[in-house]
Every structure is written in structure tokens, then in C-alpha cells.
Structure 1
Amino acid sequence: MKNILIINSGSSSLKFQLIKMPSEEVMASGLVERIGQESGKVHYKSEKFSTSEEMHVEDHSVALKEVTKYLMHTENGVINDPADIPAIGHRVVHGGASFSDTIIINEQVKSKIKELFSLAPLHNPPNLKGIEVAEEIFPKAQQVAVFDTAFHQTIPSRANRYAIPNDFFEKEHIQVYGFHGTSHKYVSEKANELLGKKTTKLVTVHLGNGCSMTAVMDGQSVDHTLGFGPVNGLIMGTRSGDIDQSVIFYMIEQLGYSAQEVSDLLHHKSGMLGLTGYSDLRDIEDQAEKGNRECQLALEMNAYRIKKYIGAYAAVMNGLDAIVFTAGIGENSNVIRKMVCNDMDFLGVSLNEKENDIRSKENRLISSENSRVKVYVIPTNEELEIAKQTLNMIS
């Protein structure tokens, strides 16, 4: 048995899980939030002990030291020494064209992650910071990078290239990279287990504040809704999803917006927030039920976009075995799932509404017995997927 520490380092947060592998036992988990702000918070949970403590957390180094203090607490801790953790798996959002698989981190890898800052300016810098801090606190542990983009490296050229001059691809590496790869990989493998076969045609639907869909054929990503950046495709909490490029030019040339202002608008002020004034889907569903027409329309638009991509991906794969809903909204919103799956009988999709209405953290089938296409809800577990890949690297 090996203790694998999983770190997901954000710009002002640090999520962690300590997982005993290969038994998959979660020994401890938690979150440090509002790092660098006046009032931070440390959340820690284990079988023995749980707490939420407010404190000033100056930087990521302080955050991980606080986590380590809880992990090694004399009475309530789960390890005795930093050396009890032989490996640390880090979520790194963007691997560009450089990383198609999980990799043991060395100076060259860190240098390459730094080179990719421009492709993921909100994510890769704190990801690298988490790596550097972990090296300092756990000097004997092997550091492993698991890239969000890696699963999508199998997307063929016909699907991952943009129809712009070739120089932009060859010299600037502008192409579809895709995101949420760890989640799509995990749930597609679980779906294959439930279907009892590996040669499958799946559409995995990751719905959270950020949203994406993947066409997964025989275990490999063959198309994906997000592209060069994380704003394309589906309507998200604050991101627009697909938009006609002419709208962007019009905003800049005719309405006087700067490129930065348009970028900020499409990333942070659009999506469900722009349509309704709310970014949390629970608020939107609640308002829609009370008759708020803006919220009703936003839900219809959201479901329509998902449905449209399901049809497109069924076409490119020449068939469909299952649709898989995952992540916060995908796992919990029976409203969105019902709106997506209704009126898709031509594709062989028939929902069991009673099963769809059940709230559960278990993998479950929500399609009816006569549904030719299975519909599953499979809770994602990116941390466990990272732990599995990290264990494979050090075994």
C-alpha cells in the first residue's frame, strides 16, 4: 500500500486528498481557500477528525504546510512523517502539444509547464507553484504531473485543427487542446465497465461551472467541445460557449470595447450569469419554477446546446451506446438531464423519469428498459484518477 497525495492548486486555493493505493481509501481530504487574502480558511477532514479554521494564509507554501500539520497531527493525524508519502500527483491544466501522458516531474518538465503559461494564464502558474511548494515540503516524494489536456491528444487532425493558415498550427501550435480530460477519462472507463465492453461509442457530458462534452470511441477521445481555450462549446456558469466571431469584431470595432474587455465579458460575465443574473444553476432552476422567463429560456438554451452536440457526436462516431452525465450539475440536476434527453427517441434515448429524479452519489442508470442508448449518471472522481495514474508512474 502506498499513500498518494493529490494536489489541485488554484490561483487562490489548494485542494487535496491523501489516498491509500491501490485500495482507494481516502485517508484525508480538504481545501485551503482565499490564499493571499485577508481571511483564509482551511477545511480538513479524515475519519478521526474534521475542522474548518479561519486564518490568514499568506501563500501556497503556508497552505501546504497547514495541510501537512493536520496530516501529521500527533493525536488526529494519518501519517507520522513526510516520508510516509512516496508520491504526489499534481493536476496541471494545460500540457499543450508537449505532454500527451502523465509524467514524473523534473526541471525540464517544470520549465515546459512555465512555457505554457500563456495558454492557461489562470491555471498553469498556480499549478507550477503547487509543484514547487510540494518539492520543498516533501523532498523525498516523487512529483507526478497529470495533465487535463492529455486525454484529448488522441483527437484526430480533422477534428483538432482550425481552418486558418497552416503557419498558426505549425509555428504557434494553435489547435484544439480540450480540458476536463481527467474527468472524461474516468467516467468513460466507468461507463465501459457498466456496459461490460471496451469497444463503445460514448458521449460524456461534464457539467459544472465549466462545461464540456467529449466523443469517446473505444476508450479514446475523438472530439471535444472546448478548444484552444476553455470558453468554447456549451453555455457555462459565466462563459459564453460558442459565439459567432463577428460578434467579437463588432464589439471591438463598432461598440468601442477593448480586446481585454471582450475577453473578460465572454469569460466572466456571460453564460448563465449573462442570461439570468445568476451563475448558480440551483438559483436559476428555482427562479424558472417561479415563472422567471429569462431563467426558463436560459435552461432551454443550455439543454439545446448539449442536445445539439450529442447529435453531432453520434454522427461523427456513426452510432452511440451511452450518454454519461457527470460533475456538479450533471450529477445533481434532474431538470437539465430531463430537458436534454426529452424528444430524442429518434436516437434511441428514453429516460426513466423516476430514476432520473433520485439523488444519489452512486453510479446509476437513468434510461428506461427499452432505451437503445443507455443514459448514466456517473460521479466524477478526478482525484482518484490522478492517484491511479501517479501509482502507475512509480510502481
Structure 2
Amino acid sequence: MKQFKLGLVINPIAGIGGSVALKGSDGVGIAEQAIALGATAKSNARALLALEILLPYKENIVIYTAAGDMGEYTAKALGFNTEVVHQPVNEITTALDTEQTVMTLINLDIDLLLFAGGDGTARNVCHIVEDKFPVLGIPAGCKIHSGVYAITPKAAGRVVELMITNQLVSLTDADVMDIDESLFRQGIVKAKRFGEMQVPSELRYIQAVKSGGKESDELVLQDIAADVISKMDDELFIIGSGSTTAFVMEELALENTLLGVDAVCEQVLIESDLTEPKLWQLIQPYAQGKVKLVITLIGGQGHIFGRGNQQLSPRVIRAIGKENILIIATKTKLNALQARPLIADTGDSELDIELSGYLAVTTGYNDQVLYPVASPQ
């Protein structure tokens, strides 16, 4: 089983004012006031409930977290392999500690950020994360209006368990909401949307528009193609080989090289059947992030690189960037792998490791799942 890199951020004072009628923990001096009134923090206990679900897999998990009550104590108490990436300055932590921890985690290529708190904590996380990696909240605050939280702490653990055991997990965009606590304390509820984050959730196999709840390959491929096409503007899209990617070209009414690599910009075919040198030359004028690579997997085997697309060399893949790779496949095709990971076999072992982890796979229109990618053994 691949080692799972789990980011963990616990807001130790999340919801601390709830039990003493302070309506939360946001605001200068609120945490101190709550403690003076006898309130006790509960967020670590709730994070513990989520992490206990993962104990059977702890040999395959590394937790990256902040020192003390922000995650270190709870993770180590359960025996997880724990690495501390941030040291809070003061005994009572602040929103800045959360943001600095998350900022550090961005550079560690984690598979998922698990955080415990309330809507204020979700706002802090969202401010830094954007769409750099998926997140999941453990509900521990007074206010849980945001859609980024699991229903219960144990439910959060169960979703992470699905990921660790290579089950198909949907990746959805969820709103980050919060209310003004100062107004709330005056009896006025005023909620506001502050952004959205990508959240893993249990995969729903029954689709409302599909006959009998089963995927019709052609309808699903149309949905996948529509999703890719909706993303096409002035960027250069490199279309890899395979029948699934060929369907995208078919929907664009463009000629396709089934076993080759084509280039499309603004839905117009730029080059066909590119060699590696031509592809390398073609992408040079484009700024970083302005080239997208659309690939699929070899059915039954799971290879995304190294078989049938050697034109996509290590230097080309590095130039495009992992974050600009769009993997497309039907859920039927993914399920046929029977939980085996996708394989990146580029011929460059360091790049294979860099590509490993959980990547989003587009399985329909605005429908993605998280699926593990591994380097060859």
C-alpha cells in the first residue's frame, strides 16, 4: 500500500465559546474570556475520533502537522508517524498559525488536508489553499455552515479511509460560508460565501440522468468531453492517445491521431501526430500554466505514462507541470482496475515519484474522483 501523506491542522480553540454562550471563538480576547468562564476546548477530542478510524492503516500514513495542540499531541498519542511543520509562537493559537501551517503543507505535496474547527477555520484554510489540494473538515466549531465538513468526526475518518484503501472517492467543490459572530451575538444572522474548496466525498454510483443508474459509455464520454471542452480558451491543449481522448477530438469535430499526440488551441487543431522534439518545441513559447495535457489510462492496466505515449517525455511532462495534467476516464474503466493504482512509468524514476499521489480524474461533466497514482515497482 502506498504511503499516504496526510496534512492535519487542529484549531485548539475552535468553538470554545459555545458552551459559555459566547457564540464561537472568533474575535480578539474571546478565547481568553471563554477560558475564564470555564470553557474547555473540544476540537482535539473530535479530531481524535476521526483519526482513530485510520489506526489500522497507521503504518502507511505520515501526518504533517503543527506543534502541540494544533495536531502534534493528538497524532503522536495515537502512534502515527508525525512530522511537525509549524511551531506556534503563543500558547493561544491564532488564525495566522492555521494559515502558516497550511502554507507550509502546500510545499509538501500532501494527499489531503484534514482540519478540525468551525467556519472561521475553514475560511483561514480556504484563504491559503484555493485548489492546490483537497481538504476535509472535522466539525468542531459552533458554526458549521460550510459544505467542506463531514457530517461527524467519524464520518471524516471514513472518507479518508476510502482514499487510503484506493476506493473511488468523488472530488467536489464545496462552499466556504461564515457568519459575522459580532452580529450573531446581537441576535443577527448574516452569512456570507467566502470561496470554495475541493472536498472528497463518498462516490455516488447512481446518476440521475443515466438509465438504471448505470453508465452508458457514449453518454458518459460525451459528458467527459464536454467538461474538457468547457475548459478550452487560449491555452494550448495537448491531447494524448487513446479512445477516451479521441472522443474529445470527435466532439470538437477535429481529426484525431488515435495512437498519437495532437495539439489544440481555442478548439482549433494546431499540430497532429507530434513527435517528442516537435512537442517540446511547440510548448516553449507558452507561459507556465498555459499548457494543459489531456490523457487517459490503458484499460485493465492503468498506465497513464510509459505505454503508447512515449512522445510525452519527462522533460515535456515537467514543463507542463503535474497540476496541468487532466486525466479522463469513465468510472467503469476505473472500477475495472479493482482498486489498483494508476501507473506513471515515464522512464525517469524521480518524475514517477513526483507524479505519485492522489490525482483528480474527470469522470463526467463537473464530476471528478480522486484516484491514486503510483510509480512502477
Tell me if TM exceeds 0.5: no
Question: What's the TM-score bracket when you normalise by the shorter of the two chains?
Answer: under 0.3
Between Structure 1 and Structure 2, which shows a larger proportion of strand residues? 2
TM-score, scaled to structure 2: 0.27
Question: Which TM-score applies when normalising by structure 1?
Answer: 0.26
